[in-house]
Amino acid sequence: MIDPRFVSRNMMSRRSLFRSSLAGTLLLPGITESLGIDGSALQSSKSAHFPAKAKNVIFLFMTGGVSHVDTFDPKPALHRDHGKEIKANHPEIKDRPGYERIYLKRPQWEFSPHGDSGIEVSTLFPHVATCVDDLAIIRSMHTSHSNHYNATLGMHTGSFAVSRPSIGSWVTYGLGTINQNLPGFVVIAPRQTYAGTQVYSNDFLPAVNQGTLVVPGTEPVANVKPRLTTVKQRKELDALRELNELHAERRDNKATLSARMRSFETAYGMQRAVPDAFDFSKESKTTLDNYAIQPNSTTGFGWQCLAARRLVERGVRFVELIDTGSSGNWDAHGDMMTHVGLAKNVDQPIAALLKDLKQRGMLDDTLVVWTTEFGRTPFNNTADAKGREHHPWAFTSWLAGAGVKQGITYGETDEHGLRAEVNKVHVHDFHATILHLLGFDHQALTYRHAGRDYRLTDVEGQVIRGVLS
């Protein structure tokens, strides 16, 4: 125990301690600042509004805009009417620049039924097709913007124009964290997607709810390796805590300092928990092969998927995997054939993740979400165009796991896949449903900021009852 008289006699302040060589050996500030948890109370596990089906989320985001009509939404009429001009039947298209004449474009991959449900999936996703009996495929998604930045922001925050808290931040704000030695919200991505850090920002929510970025590689979380032994570091932290407590005793507003003190303890625990979470050496060769992970590899979407399972096992509430691999993204303006390599990169790992979670009994309380920011046009401005453009009017997403109906499709687009027509699902509805499965009334999960109560779904959103078990 540090004697306060000794501190006073030797003029040892908190500031001077930080400047000392002893404090300089601590790596903990680097970790806590990378976590975004300075200045906010760390959370324990909290209760939802009603009993939840899911306690964790794995959110798979295919950045760039996956073509629904080439993957999960079969449209025989596009084959039949390929090359047909449709402008006269859809006058709203006339306002889109460069579309003086519009022609339908057929899918470039064949669809076939799979599983007991007989759900049709294209040949782009042969491995995910083996899991269709566990999926609720929503074919009637639509969004509010056709630009990557805005649509990506909307899919993550519910706001299409300005920064707002990410869905992962809302989830951890509402539920807290289970494992005090790991962040509650983790984002694994090789590089930033559209809208950058805003897709996992806490914005006006407490800083502890910000997502922690993990970049696949030999050091997925920076500054996590301690320079001192555990015993010495523990002594430093105890000394620092006692000085901080002395400082806090003389001040009324202790919340920020208290949070900072707890953040050091979390970072201290992370030094053990993080290396363990990303150490795949104890995984079997069969597991690594299932995820398509090469020996000693620390990159690739398979690595991201297995890391997600291991993080959820250890109590991380919300894990997002962003597909921003070296082969680019799904923005196939020039040539739809780029979907081949992109699908191959994620197909087997996603199927492995679903099967692994199911085999371990984890799919019972883990919600898996697969989505993109918008679809791609079932038409183009020439009959022989190789690519497809941005399409906010219709796209496909799917859910699997806790509280979700198995082996169903929900909603429909028109015969050519231009517009969501039956049981339309907006991004706000999608978010409301995810929150519902986690035990939240999306209208009641709010945060007071700048004189009003904000929520993920803004002033809209309806739970999609048809996908709930």
Q: Kindly provide the b/e burial profile for residues 299-315, where b requires at least 16 CB atoms within 10 angstroms of the residue's own CB.
A: bbbbbbbbbbbbbbeeb
Listed in order, the ranges of the chain carrying CATH 3.40.720.10 are 44-221+286-467
CATH classification code of 44-221+286-467 = 3.40.720.10
Q: At residue 28, does pLDDT exceed 60? A: no
Q: So what's the pLDDT on residue 17?
A: 39
Band the pLDDT of 40: cuts 50, 70, 90: very low
Query: Which of the pair, 115 or 251, is modelled with greater confidence?
Result: 115
Q: How far apart, in whole angstroms, are the C-alpha atoms of residue 299 and residue 320? A: 16
Q: So what's the pLDDT on residue 1?
A: 41
If you average pLDDT over residues 78-94, what whole number do you get?
A: 77
Q: So what's the pLDDT on residue 229?
A: 78
Q: At residue 186, does pLDDT exceed 70? A: yes
Give the mean pLDDT of the chain: 88
* Residue pair 100/382 in contact by the 8 Å Cβ criterion: no
Long-range contacts of 7-10 (CB under 8 A, 24+ apart): 7/243, 7/246
DSSP code string of 12-41? --HHHHHHSHHHHT--HHHHHHHHT-TTS-
User: Percentage of residues in the chain with pLDDT exceeding 90?
Assistant: 69
Q: At residue 18, does pLDDT exceed 50? A: no
Kindly report, residue by residue over 243-278, the tens digit of the pLDDT.
888 888 888 766 667 767 777 777 777 888 999 999
If you average pLDDT over residues 167-192, what whole number do you get?
A: 94
* Residue owning tokens 């499709």: 409
Q: At residue 436, does pLDDT exceed 90? A: yes
If you average pLDDT over residues 53-74, what whole number do you get?
A: 98
Poorest-confidence range of 12-26, 358-372, 448-462? 12-26
If you average pLDDT over residues 376-390, what whole number do you get?
A: 93
Kind and range of the H or E run holding 141: strand 135-142
Band the pLDDT of 48: cuts 50, 70, 90: confident
- Backbone angles phi and psi of 242, in degrees to 5: -65, -40
Band the pLDDT of 324: cuts 50, 70, 90: confident
